[in-house]
């Protein structure tokens, strides 16, 4: 019995050993196959120009600006962007990189438009200088990130080489250029404190300067930088070239736009401009960033897009709503007087907070907008209001009380008369009557158009950039796309 048991144990160990050897052999064969696949994959990528030989130790890598994209393009963006704080998204299809790596069978298949960034500020070749001398607002950082992550941005374009005449300019393309200099100077986003320094980008120790210490705080002081761009070979040789110039000043771009820099090759995107300040051929309004955006549920969104359910009193019981601070010279004082405690809710912030504490009014700001048919957008200290985008985010129809304010984007792109209700400030007391005269069918159509514009062009910085680019195209070709 002992012999039989011993033999059984030996046979069991032998079987276990054979199984272990089998597993090891399988893993080795899989590893060999994986190595063959990786080798084949590398050979294919080398054939397509995506992989370069590794440099010898101590030898710097180089990238040919005409043929490069390299498999390490996104891991090592210093080859294409000098700003060490910015990173190219790996989730964006970039046709210009395919073109530079000869992946287009014909030149005619390449894109017809190219987005490029200058290198005189944040993107300066001297990275330390870019961080030490050129401040940036958080809003401008978001817009810059959205710009470089647009599919038509070409990260291999060498602005300095072009400006110095070392590379030719392709005059068959349309160019959209963003200057890597702070021109926006947004002081209330994302923190509403009216201080630029409190809303400055400080990543990697970027310098923070007060608005007055920056030459491009207004267009008049930005002459050197603007002339550098407009006098470059690209702008001199290509008629279809546009410089996007963001202006977030409360009083607009000032007289310098029309008196000193009237070129139609500049597209001033201004958050608070009046019609007398802008070039009617190329400029546009800028979407105010939503400080408190509202997120709709899937059901609420569908009730706007696919039906007219949002028009019922059950879903949106309030005709008009507004909660905000009083501003000197603003029509908000008259707006608050429209409050009836029933379907018109219009309160100053302290009154609203007190009513909540007492349990007399339990709606939060987001829930109030979700339940409102219309949302009031009175101007504050300046023409624009962050509330405009917030009202749209809540699926409400904006009621604008701000005389002369240029609404976002070009009129060839977005027809705000299909959406917003614009009422002169002197007619504030007629607001409720005007809104009650709008039929349910009209409201449904207006709300749907509003929310379509919001989702396509205003929901985030990427959408803002898309709206600006589509506006430029619509202005060039004289056609609307929405």
Cα separation, 253 vs 274, whole angstroms: 10
User: Per the structure block, which two tokens stand in for 285?
Assistant: 């309004």
Percentage of residues in the chain having pLDDT higher than 70: 81
Range of the domain at 218: 77-285
CATH of the domain at 454: 3.40.50
Residues 6+ apart with CB under 8 A from 114: 96, 152, 154, 157, 173, 174, 175, 176
Percentage of residues in the chain having pLDDT higher than 90: 61
Does any domain span residue 61? no
Domain identity same for 277 and 351: no
Q: Supply the pTM of this predicted model.
A: 0.82
Domain identity same for 385 and 261: no
Number of domains comprising the chain: 2
Q: Which tens digits make up the pLDDT trace of 334-387?
A: 999 999 989 999 987 767 777 777 777 788 899 999 999 999 999 988 999 999
Domain identity same for 252 and 342: no
For residue 105, what pLDDT is reported? 65
Cα separation, 323 vs 361, whole angstroms: 12
Domain identity same for 169 and 203: yes
- Which helix H or strand E contains 109, and what residues bound it? none
C-alpha triplet 389, 408, 346: angle, nearest 5°: 35
Average pLDDT, the chain: 83
Does any domain span residue 20? no
Does any domain span residue 406? yes
Q: Which tens digits make up the pLDDT trace of 211-253?
A: 888 889 889 899 999 999 999 999 999 999 999 999 998 888 8
Domain identity same for 113 and 236: yes
Could you report how far apart the first and last alpha carbons of the chain are, in Å?
90
Domain identity same for 234 and 86: yes
Give every residue of the chain whose pLDDT is below 70, as ranges: 1-80, 103-105, 327-329, 350, 479-482
Of 261, 285, 309, the position where a domain reaches its end is 285
Q: Which tens digits make up the pLDDT trace of 49-84?
A: 333 333 333 333 333 333 334 434 444 444 468 999
């Amino acid at each position: 019995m002992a012999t039989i048991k011993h033999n059984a144990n030996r046979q069991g160990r032998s079987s276990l050993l054979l199984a272990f050897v089998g597993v090891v052999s399988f893993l080795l064969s899989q590893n060999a196959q994986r190595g063959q696949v990786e080798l084949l994959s590398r050979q294919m990528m080398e054939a397509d120009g995506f992989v370069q030989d590794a440099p010898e130790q101590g030898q710097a890598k180089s990238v040919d600006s005409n043929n490069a994209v390299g498999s390490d393009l996104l891991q090592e963006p210093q080859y294409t962007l000098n700003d060490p704080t910015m990173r190219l998204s790996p989730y964006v299809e970039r046709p210009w990189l395919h073109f530079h790596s000869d992946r287009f069978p014909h030149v005619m298949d390449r894109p017809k438009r190219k987005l490029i960034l200058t290198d005189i500020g944040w993107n300066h070749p001297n990275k330390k200088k870019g961080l030490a001398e050129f401040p940036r607002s958080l809003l401008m950082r978001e817009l810059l990130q959205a710009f470089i992550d647009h599919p038509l941005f070409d990260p291999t374009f060498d602005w300095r080489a072009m400006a110095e005449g070392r590379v030719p300019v392709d005059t068959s393309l349309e160019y959209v250029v963003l200057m890597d200099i702070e021109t926006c100077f947004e002081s209330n986003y994302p923190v509403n404190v009216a201080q630029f320094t409190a809303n400055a980008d400080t990543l990697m120790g970027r310098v923070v300067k007060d608005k007055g210490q920056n030459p491009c705080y207004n267009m008049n002081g930005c002459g050197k930088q603007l002339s550098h761009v407009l006098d470059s070979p690209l702008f001199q040789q290509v008629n279809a070239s546009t410089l996007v110039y963001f202006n977030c000043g409360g009083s607009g771009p000032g007289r310098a736009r029309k008196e000193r820099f009237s070129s139609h090759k500049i597209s001033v995107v201004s958050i608070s401009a009046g019609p007398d300040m802008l070039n009617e051929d190329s400029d546009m309004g800028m979407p105010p960033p939503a400080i408190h955006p509202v997120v709709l549920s899937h059901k609420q969104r569908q009730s706007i897009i696919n039906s007219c359910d949002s028009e019922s009193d059950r879903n949106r019981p309030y005709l008009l709503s507004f909660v905000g601070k009083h501003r000197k010279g603003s029509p908000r004082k008259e707006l608050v007087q429209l409050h009836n405690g029933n379907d018109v809710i219009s309160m100053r912030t302290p009154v609203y907070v007190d009513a909540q504490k007492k349990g007399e009014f339990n709606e939060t700001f987001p829930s109030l907008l979700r339940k409102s048919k219309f949302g009031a957008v009175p101007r504050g200290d300046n023409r624009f209001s962050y509330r405009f985008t917030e009202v749209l985010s809540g699926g409400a129809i904006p009621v604008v009380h701000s005389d002369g304010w240029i609404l976002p984007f070009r009129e060839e792109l977005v027809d705000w008369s299909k959406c917003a209700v614009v009422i002169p400030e002197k007619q504030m007391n007629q607001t409720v009557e005007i809104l009650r005269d709008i039929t349910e069918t009209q409201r449904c159509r207006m709300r749907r158009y509003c929310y379509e514009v919001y989702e396509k062009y205003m929901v985030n910085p990427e959408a803002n950039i898309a709206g600006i680019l589509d506006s430029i195209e619509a202005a060039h070709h004289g056609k609307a796309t929405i």
